[in-house]
């Protein structure tokens, strides 16, 4: 059984999707690793909602040209299959998993410590809207494999 935390973040006003992603990947995640050490989850998967690139249908949700995190990197657009992009209230969905309850609990003990909470808060102010941050555990899951 794995133990999973979900984190939903909204980018800070004035930050582009690519700036948000670059900061999260290259500054915030290394900070997490330095603060949590061996209690880091076995997986830390980030899914990004891109809001400033053209979709395959040529529609854009921003008047600004798309930004790139590196000259050769192309941000993939978020393609809506139902609903509107503006209805998604977050810019990233992070899934963290641990192989044991003890490992997850060790991470959470550090997470709730005052000094770590302050450091994370200071860093998140650089790229995320902390008022809209959601972090929650999910319980049982069901996987269906077809084929």
Digit-coded pLDDT (tens) for 33-45: 999 999 999 999 9
Using the predicted structure, report yes or no on whether residue 63 has a pLDDT greater than 80.
Answer: no
- Say what the pLDDT of residue 35 is: 98
The confidence score (pLDDT) of residue 56 equals 42
The pLDDT tens digits of the residues spanning 16-29 come to 888 999 999 999 99
80-139 residue pLDDT tens: 889 888 899 999 999 999 999 999 999 999 999 999 999 999 999 999 999 999 999 998
Q: What is the pLDDT of residue 90?
A: 95
Average pLDDT of span 42-58: 73
The DSSP element (H or E) to which 118 belongs, if any, is helix 114-124
Q: Is residue 111 within a helix (H) or strand (E), and if so which, with residue range?
A: helix 101-111
In Å, how far are 10, 60, 90 from 85, measured between CA atoms?
A: 13, 10, 10
What's the pLDDT at 59? 42
Q: What are phi and psi of 20, to 5 degrees?
A: -60, -50
How much is the average pLDDT of 57-61?
42
Domain residue spans of the chain: 3-88+100-136
**Percent of the chain topping pLDDT 70:** 84
Mean pLDDT across the stretch 38-63? Answer: 71
């Amino acid at each position: 059984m794995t133990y999973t935390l979900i984190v939903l973040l909204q980018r800070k006003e004035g930050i582009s999707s690519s700036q948000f992603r670059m900061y999260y990947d290259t500054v915030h995640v290394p900070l997490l690793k330095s603060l949590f050490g061996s209690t880091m989850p076995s997986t830390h998967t980030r899914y990004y909602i891109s809001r400033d690139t053209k979709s395959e249908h040529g529609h854009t949700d921003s008047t600004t040209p798309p930004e790139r995190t590196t000259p050769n990197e192309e941000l993939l657009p978020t393609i809506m299959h139902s609903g509107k992009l503006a209805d998604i209230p977050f810019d990233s969905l992070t899934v963290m998993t641990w192989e044991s309850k003890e490992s997850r609990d060790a991470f959470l003990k550090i997470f709730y410590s005052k000094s770590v909470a302050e450091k994370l808060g200071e860093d998140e102010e650089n790229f995320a809207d902390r008022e809209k941050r959601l972090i929650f555990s999910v319980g049982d899951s069901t996987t269906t494999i077809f084929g």
